[in-house]
Structure 1
């Protein structure tokens, strides 16, 4: 591999002069700098990122840690992060799995955005104590080096449940997400609280996993138990889409026999028939705001915890139950 020593030898200058030139220092004349850059290009020189990060104490790389890469949810979220980071000269890498956790203690990245249940809260606080800058999207942690950018999960779930109850439904299913999911637990708690205000509501929970197969499985159970029109609040849209898929193969109709509300407003919801009612927010804004907050943390600027607001999108061709 070509080093700056090779460039210095061919250019007939010192190693420090090459280093200054490649880093844009005004200590080197324009003529000498041009000569050194030309030789570096000729020799196919590639800067050593590890050495550069040791010297500057930065990599200009941010890690986004996700539980997994599946589903249609992450695209806009990551695009929002990338949009904000690129404005400040940062690159984004997307990580998943426990082996990638070492990127933080080994300082391969300048900071991290966390939406990953494989990180324990204790582990994140430990890294924060060591000076690492973190933004969490999936839990509440109190530390000067950790910022929270969370969804208004509770208000979204309340909007969904109130909408179903106001339409006259008196039997409501809730299809949950994974037990370890912060978002699922927040939505579930709000759904339970909403039902407690109405004693006449028959309320049933079905365990899901935030994916289409668990939505299909929930739909199968609901149809087996069906005696009258019911409503279903799926705690994310992936499960709601799975439910649509299963029901479409039966004699039952969404919006007539089974009324469904999801959460996330992923793109696929626009193409369901009838259009899926869902809780909407901007995934791109969520990602962008998380990145902005992390850049402030890295620069030691003050930050406050943020919340992403949500709204209800009503489904089309919905039959109200009276």
Structure 2
């Protein structure tokens, strides 16, 4: 691969002159610049993007760090981020895994949006101390170079439990999320607080992992111990869909024997039969707002921490217990 040094040798000029010419500097005459550009094309010269970005201290690329890419959740979220970034001349790379964390200190990106519980808070603080701009979507961190755009998890979980209780349910399961997940922790803590307000609730937690197999496993355990109709709050919709999948192979009916409510209102839930009750918010807006806040940080503009509000979507998956 041709280098600036090769171009300089063939053009009979210094390396700095080639650099000036390729970057459109007025320090080089038009005639010399044209000659250098022609030689660069002839040699199929490709600029070293990493070196250029280190010199300019900008790449116009934003890193989006996710725990994983699984499930139907991330599509709208990433679309919201991309729409906002592209409108401002930025591109994004989507990363997962600890090796990608080096993109921040190596300045391969101009800023980071983090929804990755494998990314430690201490590591993010270190990067912020070094001047890197970061938006977190999955934790609470206070730092001038870090902004928070979080879901109202507590409100959502409280809405879900109150909905089940209003429908007359007194035997309630909660299917938890992955250990270390901020959203899962916030939701299950709100569930416990909501249930504690009532003295006549039979409450039990089953382990989950925000995926369909976890929902299937929970449904299997619930049906093995089934005696009377129960209500189940799945801390995300993926697990609720897993429960539907398992129950479809049994004699138990959703909305009659097993009453289910989820969280996220992913598109797939719109087609479930019966329609899944769930907690709704705009994933696209969550992503868009996160991108907006990061661009403000990069521009050294003030950006207040923000929470994305949630609402309840009723569904036939939760029936009135008195009618059963």
TM-score by length of 1: 0.93
CA distance 1:33–1:166, change in 2 (3 Å): farther
Identify the residue that residue 170 of structure 1 maps to in structure 2: 170
Return 80-89 or 150-159, whichever deviates more.
Answer: 80-89
The answer to whether 1:213 aligns with 2:213 is: yes
CA distance 1:287–1:41, change in 2 (3 Å): farther
Identify the residue that residue 113 of structure 2 maps to in structure 1: 113
Give the Å deviation of 1:23: 3.1
What SS is found at the alignment partner of 1:183?
helix
Give the Å deviation of 1:40: 3.7
Identify the residue that residue 148 of structure 2 maps to in structure 1: 148
CA distance 1:278–1:7, change in 2 (3 Å): same
Identify the residue that residue 265 of structure 2 maps to in structure 1: 265
Distance in 2 (alpha carbons) for counterparts of 1:172 and 1:55: 59
Give the Å deviation of 1:212: 0.8
Distance in 2 (alpha carbons) for counterparts of 1:282 and 1:77: 8
Return 80-89 or 182-191, whichever deviates more.
Answer: 80-89
Return 210-219 or 60-69, whichever deviates more.
Answer: 60-69
Identify the residue that residue 68 of structure 1 maps to in structure 2: 68
Give the Å deviation of 1:41: 3.9
Task: Tell me if the contact between 2:64 and 2:94 (Cα under 8 Å) persists in the aligned partners.
Answer: yes
Cα RMSD, aligned residues only:
2.0
What SS is found at the alignment partner of 2:262?
strand
Identify the residue that residue 46 of structure 2 maps to in structure 1: 46
Give the Å deviation of 1:302: 0.9
What SS is found at the alignment partner of 1:160?
helix
Distance in 2 (alpha carbons) for counterparts of 1:37 and 1:284: 43
Identify the residue that residue 134 of structure 2 maps to in structure 1: 134
Task: Structure 2 unaligned segments of length 5 or more: list them.
Answer: none
What SS is found at the alignment partner of 2:169?
coil
What SS is found at the alignment partner of 1:263?
coil
Distance in 2 (alpha carbons) for counterparts of 1:282 and 1:20: 47
Identify the residue that residue 255 of structure 1 maps to in structure 2: 255
Return 205-214 or 193-202, whichever deviates more.
Answer: 193-202
Identify the residue that residue 235 of structure 2 maps to in structure 1: 235
Identify the residue that residue 196 of structure 1 maps to in structure 2: 196
Pairing 1:95-114 to 2, within 5 Å after superposition: 95-114=95-114
Distance in 1 (alpha carbons) for counterparts of 2:303 and 2:136: 13
Length, aligned pairs only: 322
Identify the residue that residue 275 of structure 1 maps to in structure 2: 275
TM-score by length of 2: 0.92
Give the Å deviation of 1:224: 1.3
Give the Å deviation of 1:25: 4.4
Task: Structure 1 unaligned segments of length 5 or more: list them.
Answer: none
Deviations 1:81-114 (A, max 9, x none): 1111122222211111122222222222221111
Identify the residue that residue 292 of structure 2 maps to in structure 1: 292
CA distance 1:195–1:60, change in 2 (3 Å): same
Identify the residue that residue 222 of structure 2 maps to in structure 1: 222
Return 31-40 or 174-183, whichever deviates more.
Answer: 31-40
Distance in 2 (alpha carbons) for counterparts of 1:36 and 1:187: 61
Return 247-256 or 64-73, whichever deviates more.
Answer: 64-73
Distance in 1 (alpha carbons) for counterparts of 2:29 and 2:166: 75
Give the Å deviation of 1:45: 2.2
Give the Å deviation of 1:15: 4.6
